[in-house]
Amino acid sequence: MRFLFVLILLAGAGVGVIYPWAMSNFSGQEIGTWRVYEQGRFKPLTVPLAARDAPVRVLVDLTARAERIVSQQRTVLTLTAASNGRTVLASTLQFNHSDNPRQASPQLPDKIFRDAAGVIATVSPGPYIFTVGPGDADDIPMRAVDLILRSGVGEIDSRARPVGFSLMAIGLIGFLLTLRSGRGRPENPNSQPPPPRWGRG
């Protein structure tokens, strides 16, 4: 029974955590990566997109000299995407859920934090202007900011996270209950070998 609850817990982690993360970071094909902040300056980026690229997922990598980003619900970066003078995507980025950042280089203490800005579901052929700017969290030691575009990405099922977290809760509670019930079960006196007898007979 304990093994069953462990399987339920692992299945919940796969559905609620691993599946959305894999869909956000690896589904589709990468269009390109561009540096939009360096040496204290932000610069707008113009990328031509085609209708076949849709949907396009927009990701942002923040390189900072920090072990984790603690923004206290403040905005670290803002991002807008516009086409033909019309804003098609506006997002605020906090990066505070990146618990496992990548190492920028073995020789440097900088870490790379990733956040998803959103998805451009429908693409009209033509140039798209991406503008990244600072938010109200001005105490983040930023080194660089990169914009990543992925085309043809899969949509994350909105039911995945609630179902996954529910399975994780069921598996964890069931596992803890089996530990507790197994610990409180009285010992069977017949399961122990009889004590040795001394003397004749």
Provide the pLDDT confidence category of residue 201 given band limits of 50, 70 and 90: low
Distance, CA of 170 to CA of 130 (rounded, Å): 43
The reported pTM is 0.66
Weakest mean pLDDT among 12-26, 82-96, 182-196 = 182-196
- Compute CA distances 150 → 55, 184, 185, whole Å: 8, 54, 55
Give the DSSP H or E segment for 178.
helix 160-184
Cα 109 to chain centroid, rounded: 22
Across the strands, what pairs with 147?
34, 60
Helix (H, G, I), strand (E, B) or coil at 32: strand
Task: Write down the pLDDT at residue 139.
Answer: 79
Task: Write down the pLDDT at residue 177.
Answer: 84
Distance, CA of 190 to CA of 192 (rounded, Å): 5
